[in-house]
């Protein structure tokens, strides 16, 4: 998605809890072997005592303060997450809007696995293009990977799951001073990879009714047995090429000679 004029990003915030759980502690507890601990490369992971929506409120409040704004200025609030938010059949986005006093905002939840934050920014930009009168969009993300439903050290391959939250404000450059500019954003899907997080498991009637814990290792093993690593690698590489090419073809960037200094891909098993 390219924009006629760039959007401004204000108050980008990363909020992490102070408490940490060390890899050596996980090894002593038998939750992780020393070889895998070395491969993960994390000495410790942030661990939260608060629920994810509470973390998102803290991040959102900090983002608003950094931009010199308050919740009343927000017309759209999107909250993205991966894991359980603390209640069943409930909207964490509405909780966050209420706690930030964003009473005029439209709260929307985005459950999109790894690239949920990027997807929420993309949705916010599209909505602001269609309804500029919304003014400012607040995008938050937050997750907590707590026992007994998730083992942050051994629930997946090659990833340690820390707790935390992020927030940013997206708006027109004329509405508020711009800290960063968003010229383009793109998503490319590979739906054939969804089985990596489903495996051979049957559909369950309720959360964690099939397995007491989220076990992504089990589902990925099932996928690789059936499909092989080559299909995953090919689909992932092609999606990344397409998404980078799409973003760099934005009129504001194409033909300018501007050099790419950094990039941040948001990738899930489905994207």
pLDDT tens for 16-61 read 999 999 999 999 999 999 999 999 999 999 999 999 999 999 999 9
Task: Report the pLDDT averaged over residues 218-224.
Answer: 95
Distance between CA 234 and CA 220 in Å, rounded? Answer: 16
Q: In the structure, what pLDDT confidence band is assigned to residue 267 with cuts at 50, 70 and 90?
A: low
pLDDT at 245: 87
pLDDT at 183: 87
Distance between CA 107 and CA 128 in Å, rounded? Answer: 14
Tens of pLDDT, residues 101-138 = 999 999 999 998 889 999 999 999 999 999 999 999 99
β-bridge mates for residue 45, sequence order: 21
DSSP code of residue 133: G
Task: Give CA angle at 192 (91, 186), nearest 5°.
Answer: 65
Contacts of residues 195-203 at CB distance under 8 Å and 24 or more positions apart, as own/partner, are: 195/219, 195/222, 195/223, 195/226, 195/227, 196/220, 196/223, 196/232, 196/269, 197/113, 197/269, 197/270, 199/223
pLDDT at 67: 94
Cα–Cα separations (whole angstroms), residue 158 to 36, 38, 41: 8, 10, 9
**0.85 exceeded by the pTM?**
yes
Task: Please state, rounded to an integer, the average pLDDT across all residues of the chain.
Answer: 91
């Amino acid at each position: 998605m390219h924009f006629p004029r760039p959007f401004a990003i204000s108050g980008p915030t990363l909020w992490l809890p102070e408490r940490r759980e060390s890899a050596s502690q996980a090894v002593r507890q038998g939750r992780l072997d020393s070889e895998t601990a070395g491969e993960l490369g994390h000495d410790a992971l942030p661990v939260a005592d608060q629920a994810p929506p509470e973390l998102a409120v803290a991040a959102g409040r900090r983002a608003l303060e950094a931009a010199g704004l308050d919740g009343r200025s927000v017309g759209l609030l999107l909250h993205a997450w991966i894991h359980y938010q603390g209640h069943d059949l409930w909207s964490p986005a509405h909780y966050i809007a209420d706690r930030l006093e964003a009473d005029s905002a439209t709260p929307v939840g985005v459950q999109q696995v790894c690239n949920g934050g990027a997807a929420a920014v993309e949705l916010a930009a599209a909505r602001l293009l269609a309804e500029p009168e919304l003014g400012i969009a607040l995008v938050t993300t937050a997750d907590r990977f707590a026992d007994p439903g998730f083992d942050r050290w051994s629930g997946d391959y090659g990833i340690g799951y820390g707790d935390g939250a992020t927030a940013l404000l997206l708006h027109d450059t004329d509405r508020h001073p711009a800290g960063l500019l968003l010229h383009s954003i793109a998503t490319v899907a590979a739906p054939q990879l969804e089985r990596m997080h489903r495996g051979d498991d049957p559909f369950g009637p309720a959360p964690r009714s099939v397995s007491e814990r989220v076990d992504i290792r089990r589902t990925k093993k099932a996928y690789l047995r059936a499909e092989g690593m080559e299909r995953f690698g090919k689909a992932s590489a092609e999606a990344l090429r397409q998404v980078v090419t799409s973003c760099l073809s934005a009129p504001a960037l194409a033909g300018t000679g501007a050099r790419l200094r950094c990039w941040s891909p948001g990738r899930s098993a489905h994207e």
